[in-house]
Structure 1
Amino acid sequence: MNRRTRLAVLLFAVVLLGTVGTAAVLRAADRSAVRDQQQADGPTVRTGDVVLHPPGERQLLVRNLAWGPHRDEIATVPAGHPDGPRTASGVKCLRFHAAAGTGICLQAERGALADTYQAVVLDAHLRIRHRFPAPGIPTRSRVSPSGHLIAWTVFVSGDSYAGTAFSTRTAIADTRTWALDDNLEQYAVTKDGRPYHASDINIWGVTFADDTRFYATLATGGRTYLVRGDRTARTLTTLHGNVECPSLSPDGTRIAYKKRVPGASPDAPWRLYVLNLATMKETATAEHRNIDDQALWSGDDTLVYALPGDYGSDLWTVPADGSGTARRMMTSAVAPAYAG
């Protein structure tokens, strides 16, 4: 190969490398533009003041799951416009609920060897009032209608309700005194009218009626039950079978819950039902997909709940009386609560 030939080969190689590099840059720019467009097409999230006693219009608070710097922060939108711009608080929670100016935020503390968890009580401006250690992965939380009581459930082994290889721990705390019942399994259980004792009892999913009475799920012997709890008497009484993650209606007459249905896949066993507490009559909602959430009542007639979505979860809504159809209410959000 003479000198002229070598120069021609070298020049060709330089041009080829330049072309390849330019194409790579253009492809990266195209991918970046697509990502930017995807973010632009998602919900608008901005920082601002988030309060649990908002003036004026009723607000919907959620854990924001939209990608970006405010993912996992508690955010708020007008309740009547859940698809509108979100105001992010800067407070990150894994689970969240609020009522009457009190919030409960279950948080993770990332460690070098293992994560730890805590239940953080928030005031109306999302400032920390108190912290309680939580012995496992957060899964459910609720505040009583008065704001005086908070409850939370964590997995102390396992991380799913779908199978049987899990154990939960549920606690209730009084925000006036910080008195803590750190394990509701210590309450006396009455099952089918008789005192009941078993080593396999699990309790989860508290929903409050008032500052004394509450409802929850009790599991034992491979079955689940709706129980009515009494904090003063420290008792749990079974009311109805095959009830998980109960949610009491604002008028106190009905329980929304997830029910295991015959023939469903073991990995997707639940459907959303409503139980009339006076008659114990069950009503299936028009939501026919698997529900693994503790539904929230939006007024006396409508349920809000989470289903898997592109960024983790979306919020859906369905009438509580079995009519209508399910519809998506809000993308990239979970753990809803109403304020105002």
Structure 2
Amino acid sequence: MFRRLLTLEEAKQTIQKYFEAKPLGVEEIPLLDAFSRVLAENVIAEIDIPPFNRSTVDGYAVKAEDTFGADENKPVKLKLCGTVNVGEKPKVKVERGTAAEIMTGAPIPEGADAVVMFEDTERKNGEVYVYTAVARDENVMKAGSDIKRGETVARQGQLLTSREIGAIAAVGRAKVKAYTVPKVAILSTGAEITEPGKLLAPGKIYDINAYSLSAAVQESGGKPVYLGVFPDDAAELEKALKKALASADIVVSSGGVSVGPKDVMPTTLSRLGKPGVIVCGIAVKPGKPTTVAVVDGKPVFALPGHPTSAMLIFHLLVRPVIERMTGRIP
């Protein structure tokens, strides 16, 4: 039979007593690999975004005051002084009475303070006829209007999504510091378990838990390490658990935790290292047979074999540990 059943809260407190779930470390990674990672630094913009005043339309860069009074019946005539293309430094200067052709996204040339859209102009013989007046800064995006230099673009502890990654790329960062992803060894036990993809023999069932738990580990921010299916044999199980502990930061198994003659997980765990089994049965349903051990500083969660029970206990006990180790929750 089980030892005294712990309440769920007592089980959580016991796990916290013997294992402090915290980030394993920090590593610098390429920004392209940073999706779904947790940022381990504040990212501060070192430049304005955009870094220069830019045109938001195709048209002509002008001095706004030169267009005052222009209308359909009385256009203002300006001399074309050059062209400003996207991606290049302007080579022209807009003086009084002149206009420079400009493309969307191109830098505003010296002397200009507004842009007239092509639709409101007509070009004849090197001169531009403006049919609509523009105000100062009209059709101009000012430097720093998206992100100002010195502004915090992303904060430590943030989960990096496409939004944060785009903002970080905008300020020129190609790498970021992120918390190390914990490795979680996944193994299933039971003579009746068969890996998906293999022929299902009479009396056998396919392994649901290893696949659903691996996906749940990824959802939590961890990296699953699938080790396979093992029989309810103490020696084989001990060997598998030692391999799991050597290759991962957390071990999650399913099956072999009840009180039947083939349920050898608790006794096997007790032989692996100190302090050993710290939880052996929880007063929850489903999930009562859950066993938790800490072996030489690494937690081992032995979940029930029933898929519903395994997933319930994973989300109640294992997921918070993984999320603390990834930095997703403090």
Q: Which category of TM-score, normalised to the shorter sequence, fits these structures?
A: under 0.3
Query: Greater share of helix residues, 1 or 2?
Result: 2
Greater CA radius of gyration, 1 or 2? 2
TM-score by length of 2: 0.23
Q: What TM-score, normalized by structure 1, do the two folds share? A: 0.22
Decide which structure has greater strand share. Answer: 1
